[in-house]
Each structure stands twice: as structure tokens, then as C-alpha cells.
Amino acid sequence: MMTEIDYPPDAIELGRLLFARPFLFVKGCVKIADLPEPDRVEIAFAGRSNVGKSSLINALCGTTSLARTSNTPGRTQELNIFESQSEPLRIVDMPGYGFAKAPEDKVRAWTKLIHQYLTGRAILRRVYVLVDGRHGPKDNDLTVMNELDKAAVSYQIVLTKADKLLPKDLDKIIAATRAVIAKRTAAHPHLIITSSHKGDGLSNLRTEIAMLLQS
């Protein structure tokens, strides 16, 4: 069953206002040196190929065209940078890890880029690790969590595509995912359960991000 976190009303309103204002695409980065200056709060969205990162970013920002979506795993091959036009916030949409329909050398290159970014970006405030709600955490997800734990980078699990499951099946995935993160040192204790298609969980995610700007 979908669970709601009991956020204060003023925090929810901050999240709504943050994403009521436009975000714009800035650039795509194929190497760490291409990244913008570290002049604002930075958050990143990571996840397996085809987990729905771009769809979630679009839904989060109230648009259908900010981040390019595709049914082909591996379409995002750069660190795509989006910035708020009113607040000091930058969103990084990362290439998907795991299976992708792309040449092996390209997959290796952007996998290296992912790990360099996740473990070496000092201003990275939080990584939102997207996990397919139909399956729960897979080996690739656990590998990324291990790296984030080791690097002491704060991360929070976001279950995607929650509308694709029956409530009883979703409850099992939620319980299994909570068990996975229970003893992880860098993991945020609260899961965010989302559906980009139905809009479920977006208010929670917006609120979490807005609270980072206040801390």
C-alpha cells in the first residue's frame, strides 16, 4: 500500500513552490571536467537503464519535455544537467547502469563516469537511487549503494512504476527494499514510492529536495 510520510505543511509548500518554477536544461557532460562550477546544491538521479529516471524528472518538474525519455535502455549517455531558474539547485540525470542497447565500450565509459561522479563530487548533497518497483533492488543497485556507503554520500531510494503492481505485491517490494537499506550507513531511512504516470509520491520527493535547500 502507498505510504505517506508525515511532512510539516510548510515543508510541503516549499516543495510545491520549488518545482512550480521552471528548470532548464544546461548541458550534457561526457567527462567530469565538463561539469558546471560547484556553486549550488546538487542532487542526482541514478538507476538501472530504463528505470524511468527521465520520466520521473519530467513529472517532478511538471513538464513532458525537460528530460528526453525513451523505451530503449541506455538512451541517456551523459550527465544531463538541469538548473532551477529561481533557486540554487542543480539536478543531474545520470546514464542508466546495467543492461543497455549500446556498444560495450560506450557502456564501460559511462559506467566509469557514473562512479567517478558519485564518489568524487564534493557538492553532491544527495543521490536519489531509482529502483524499479516491479522488481525491487537488483545486484546493480546494490553495487551502487555499496559505493555510496563507502564514499559516505547520502542517498535515498525511490521506487518507480508503483502503479504497475497490485497493492499486496507492492507491499512485499516495499518491505524487501526497507530490509535492504536498514543497516546501510548512508541510506535515508524513508522510501519514496512513485508513479510518474499517476503522479503518486511526487509531493514527497519535492518536499525532500526542498528540505535539502533549507539544511
pLDDT in the model for residue 97? 79
pLDDT in the model for residue 106? 72
Give 45-74 pLDDT, tens digit per residue: 999 988 999 899 999 998 877 876 544 444
pLDDT in the model for residue 68? 63
pLDDT in the model for residue 189? 94
Q: Considering the entire predicted model, what is its pTM?
A: 0.91
The CATH class given to the 9-214 domain equals alpha beta
Task: Pick out the chain residues at pLDDT < 50.
Answer: 1-2, 70-75
CA distance 55 to 67: 7
41: left (phi over 0), alpha (psi -120 to 50) or beta: beta
pLDDT in the model for residue 215? 81
